[in-house]
Structure 1
Amino acid sequence: MIRLVDVATVIRSKNAGPYELTLDVIFKDSTWFRRARDGAWINEELIARLYGVPRSDVFAVIAFEPANAIKATIRRPRVSAAIGETDVYGAQQHAPLLSLEFDDVEQG
């Protein structure tokens, strides 16, 4: 098994406006990025499951090759700074990504 924390240099979350949250995974190099992208390690279904949101609340999962990065954007469960919201900046929402493991099967 491959642990995401072992092949990524950055795993973070942040606001993408008051209604959306962005999750970023930046891989150590282009080889790991391509394996993750081609193997669909991070996809809409995974993000929906990890964050307990409907698939329709996962707006995008985008691979950005120049940065060796995969970005996912989801609807925030509560508007940033709303009553009861606990992470105004969205900076503590990446935790579910930290325990991800993937099968060690290299793509084509």
Structure 2
Amino acid sequence: MADQTLDELADLVRAKNAGPFWLTLDVFLPSDEVFARVAASPVVDPVVIADLYRATPDVVRIFPMPALRAIKISLPRPVTQGSFADRDMHSGQQHVPLARVLVPERA
């Protein structure tokens, strides 16, 4: 098992609005083993997420849900949904930076 991107490991990585001011990223994983690997990776590091999405780590919220083999990440949208500067009204494309995060091989 080598280092892989989150997209290679996950069943689904998606983004959506969580109201007009928040963005939510969801990661659904195929097994308990893969969940444990991802939960121990940069994917759950607020500093990494903040860097990817140009936010500050203190506003990033990460919710690992082992019973569902899912991880939910929430952070403020960079602009209010529907505002003139909004380039992705439904935040549907915002999962791409997260999907590219490298998940290290577990030791």
TM-score (norm 1): 0.88
Q: In structure 2, what is the equivalent of residue 53 of structure 1?
A: 55
Q: How far did 1:66 drift?
A: 2.2
**Residue of structure 2 equivalent to 1:24:** 26
- Percent sequence identity is 30
Please give the per-residue CA displacement for 1:73-102, whole angstroms capped at 9, x wherever unaligned.
000010110111011111111110122112
Within the alignment, does 1:66 sit opposite 2:67 as a pair? yes
Number of aligned residues: 104
Shift of 1:31: 1.1
Counterpart Cα distance in 2 of 1:101 and 1:6: 9
Return the alpha-carbon distance in structure 1 between the equivalents of residues 19 and 35 of structure 2.
26
Instruction: Extract structure 1 runs of 4+ deviating beyond 4 A.
Output: none
Aligned residue for 1:44?
46
Q: Distance in 2 between matches of 1:2 and 1:55?
A: 24
Contact 2:42 2:101 in 1 (8 A): no
* Partners of 1:67 and 1:56 in 2: CA distance: 25
Matched residue type, 1:30: D
Unaligned runs of 5+ in 1: none
User: Alignment RMSD, CA only?
Assistant: 1.3
Take 1:5 and 1:84, find their aligned partners in 2: how far apart are those partners?
Answer: 28
Which residue does 1:84 correspond to in 2? Answer: 85
CA drift at 1:2: 2.1
